Amino acid sequence: MSAYETIIGLEVHVQLNTATKIFCSCATSFGEEPNKNVCPTCLGLPGALPVLNREAVKKAISFGTAINATINQNSIFARKNYFYPDLPKAYQISQFEIPIVGRGEIEIEVSGERKTIGVTRAHLEEDAGKNIHEDNYSKVDLNRACTPLLEIVSEPDMKSSDEAIAYLKKLHSIVRFLGISDANMQEGSFRCDANVSIRPKGDSKLYTRVEIKNLNSFKFIQKAIEYEVERQIDAWEDGKYESEVVQETRLFDTAKGVTRSMRGKEEAADYRYFPDPDLLPVFIDEELMTQGKQIPEMPDEKAQRYIKDFGIKPYDAGVLTSSLELTEYFESMLDFGASAKGSLTWLTTELLGRLKGENTLQTCGIDSATLATLVKRIDEGKISGKSGKEILDVLVENRGGDVDTLIQSLGLEQVNDDGAILSVIDSVLSANADKVAEYKSGKDKLFGFFVGQVMKNAKGVNPARVNELLKGRLQ
């Protein structure tokens, strides 16, 4: 057990999915030809003036509502001054003193224990462009410049990389369920900066905080935090903490699994914030406030509804609501008439258990209607659970197909004709009269023998119906 306590705070940049940029009418579409979606405003040309995107404000209000945060009806935009090649104006329009979203909270669960993580603020700002470094020269693509971001700043409440990842996954889920961002980490729509420090257990002092910049996968975020914690502990124990752990921004080398120094970390004063003279103070009118607060059912609310309405266990409800894709697939199966418990099992255990590598729920070719049909055929007794697994194997291999056609072509339809089943039962009991007598004298375990003989002599019969009819005959 470590003698040190880890302190983690996270800053997450969420790209809002507005059609146009936050201060101009340029498109926000991803993957365009470099420097195509630009104009005098996002290029920072003299005389070009910003105009605030109302939809971005609405999406910020929705997020604040989802985390039970204070929504500031009055807020201001400021200039955050720093020079970098991908920032043509040499300042970023952001929020400092009065953000749109004030204090809120997000509840996480790690190893069965619930914990509340405080959210300090969530403010709107514009994104910078993208530097591309190739061989001996660098290029700048400004398509992303002026794209609307919601920067979500947590309190330093997380004590482990597991808690940090649980918080990030919950946050990712919230913005996806709200529909305010696609939160695509590979495309940079959901990026994280991690602030990490350590201290001896029992010490209340906050020591040097190191920022790890621009992490864009849960796997790398966890590895970066764990490496940085070990680096700081080693420095402390070697007596080199003050010389090796300095306030700085570090990058995570994904190939080597280490963090390395990028630059010194600025303080707020270094950015020389002041109110942007080109933008009026923001006042959120009642109409916009009402629109922003109309949010859909959130993951925790859905989970509680699944537990109450369908009798699903809390853990399983958490799995189903862990991603928007899973939730939508599950609810679509219910719309197609599948049972809740059957949908849960065949979606989360059977289907997801068969998907490997790049074969995902979105790419496997098996839609919710197909899987719902499979569940219904099992519940109807038309096929057995074993046959259902065989059919699902074929569906995964062929990336789709028709369930009823496969039942016929594979000869998997169960016999549910009571007369035919009883005929086989009577034949088995007549051939094993001695065992029938033993069963009736108290050897209950022989029941399994009779079931096995019936199943052997009557291919494709419904096992549940065999059990029911056999019990009746033996009584």
Least confident of 52-56, 303-307, 466-470: 466-470
- The reported pTM is 0.85
Provide CB contacts within 8 A for 159, sequence distance 6+.
5, 6, 7, 8
- Report how far residue 475's alpha carbon sits from residue 439's, in angstroms, rounded to the nearest whole number: 10
DSSP three-state, residue 190: strand
266: left (phi over 0), alpha (psi -120 to 50) or beta: beta
31 burial class (0-12, 13-18, 19+ CB within 10 angstroms)? exposed
Query: What does the pLDDT average to over 363-381?
Result: 94
**C-alpha closest to that of 44 among 94, 88, 90:** 88
Please tell me the predicted confidence (pLDDT) of residue 211. 94
Looking at the predicted structure, is the pLDDT value of residue 206 above 80? Answer: yes
Looking at the predicted structure, is the pLDDT value of residue 436 above 80? Answer: no
Looking at the predicted structure, is the pLDDT value of residue 1 above 80? Answer: no
Residue 341's alpha-carbon distances to 5, 27, 379, 443, in angstroms, are 42, 44, 10, 35
Please tell me the predicted confidence (pLDDT) of residue 464. 74
Least confident of 42-46, 309-313, 443-447: 443-447
Q: How many residues does the chain have?
A: 475
Instruction: Locate CATH 1.10.10.410 in the chain.
Output: 418-474
Please tell me the predicted confidence (pLDDT) of residue 416. 64
With beta carbons less than 8 A apart as the criterion, state whether 225 and 196 touch.
Answer: yes
Most confident of 116-120, 236-240, 258-262: 116-120
Average model confidence (pLDDT) for the chain? 91
Looking at the predicted structure, is the pLDDT value of residue 384 above 90? Answer: no
Looking at the predicted structure, is the pLDDT value of residue 77 above 70? Answer: yes
| Both structure tokens of 353 | 């258990």
- The tens digit of pLDDT for each residue in 126-138 reads 999 998 888 888 8
Query: What does the pLDDT average to over 298-316?
Result: 96
DSSP 377-420: HHHTTSS-HHHHHHHHHHHHHHT---HHHHHHHTT-PPB--HHH
- CATH for the stretch 418-474: 1.10.10.410
Residue 303's alpha-carbon distances to 234, 341, 349, in angstroms, are 42, 14, 18
Write the single-letter amino acid at 362: Q
